[in-house]
Amino acid sequence: MSSFVTIRRSQRFSPGRHAENDSWILDATARGLAELGWSWVGGLSEDEIEQGHELPHADLVLNMAQGAASAARLQAYQDEHGAHFVNAPAGVLGCHRVTAVARLQDAGAPWVPSFVVTAQSSSRAAREWLAKLGEPRAWIKRGDVHAMAPGDVERVELGELDQAVARMRARLDGPVIVQPHLTGPIVKFYGIGDGWLRWLWAEPLDGPPPDPDSFERPLHQAALAAASCLGLDVFGGDAALVGPGRPMLIDVNDWPSFAPFREEAALAIADHVHRRARGGPCAARREAGAAKLAARGGS
């Protein structure tokens, strides 16, 4: 029998209702693995990992931790025990925005143009770069993890950029990402492995929605390319549909809460893990889970 452990994300990375949603998907995935014959041998929180608590030895680690400190300790655990991680510490760190920007731009992924403002660069350079793109509006974002508090992501006009970047850098003491505003509907997507992808509109649409047939396949391809580049099994993100069949990724995250699809997603994550580790069937179970969800009207 294969064994697994669970790591809960620190609440500082899951503010408000996100903590409950994150716990739900992790617990449901663990139950799905138990039903497939896996044995749960314990779990810790990300905060406990950072404090030096020892993680039980197991074949698999379901990992929702997001911080750099926990990733360093978990990488050492992976190196020592050879456990399979979902997601791996290196993949989690790959989602930190500065790293994601470099990797995705170098890989030629359909990723929003991004400028990194650090202690060695300046917001003036970012402003001049943005002006050359011909876009007077910009988004500034903290350079490490996703938004954790108000002000971690802010939309500004070109003339406000210098002051806004200076405020964010002073508050966070780290790099700031500058990105042009993209015109088009925003899609939020959720992915597992190389086959399962779901999406929904991220905000109310101004006008009739685009035909899904025009963007679903390129969206899936873009999301999978980004996940592969960053080293993720379980992922999510946002994309702007900047033209027919042209999704442009604007954010990629490791292991979201899957709140709109969580029952189906928990089964799919468990099946993906089981298939990867044991070669067991997964399609029939996914279809059964989807049918059960549809019979109840979805959630």
Is residue 59 within 8 A of residue 40, CB to CB? The reply is: no
Taking domain 3-87+259-295, whether its CATH number is 3.10.50 is answered by: no
Question: What is the spatial distance between Cα 94 and Cα 100, in angstroms, rounded to a whole number?
Answer: 6
In contact, 180 and 130? CB cutoff 8 Å = yes
- The residue type of 195 is G
Question: Is 137 a residue whose pLDDT tops 90?
Answer: yes
pLDDT of residue 144: 87
Where exactly are the structural domains of the chain?
A: 3-87+259-295, 113-180, 186-254
Query: What mean pLDDT comes out for the span 202-211?
Result: 84
pLDDT in tens, 49-98: 999 999 999 999 999 999 999 999 999 999 999 999 999 999 999 999 99
Please determine, looking at this structure, whether the domain spanning 113-180 carries the CATH number 3.30.1490.20.
yes
Q: For residue 59, which phi and psi values (nearest 5 degrees)?
A: -80, -25
Q: Which residue type, as a one-letter code, is found at position 192?
A: I
C-alpha to C-alpha distance for 178 and 153, rounded to whole angstroms: 10
Asked whether this chain's domains 3-87+259-295 and 113-180 adopt the same fold, the reply is: no
Residue 146 is predicted with a pLDDT of 80
> Mind listing the pLDDT tens digit for each residue in 254-278?
999 999 999 999 999 999 999 988 6
- Give the 3-state secondary structure of residue 6: strand
* Fold type of domain 186-254: D-amino Acid Aminotransferase; Chain A, domain 1 (3.30.470)
* Least confident window among 17-21, 84-88, 162-166, 194-198: 17-21
Highest mean pLDDT among 107-121, 140-154, 243-257 belongs to 243-257
**How confident is the model at residue 282, as a pLDDT?**
41
Q: Is the pLDDT of residue 133 over 90?
A: yes
pLDDT at 190: 98
- The proportion of the chain whose per-residue pLDDT surpasses 70, expressed as a percent, equals 92
> CB pairs under 8 A, 24+ apart, for 151-159?
155/181, 158/127, 158/130, 158/131
Position 1 scores a pLDDT of 55
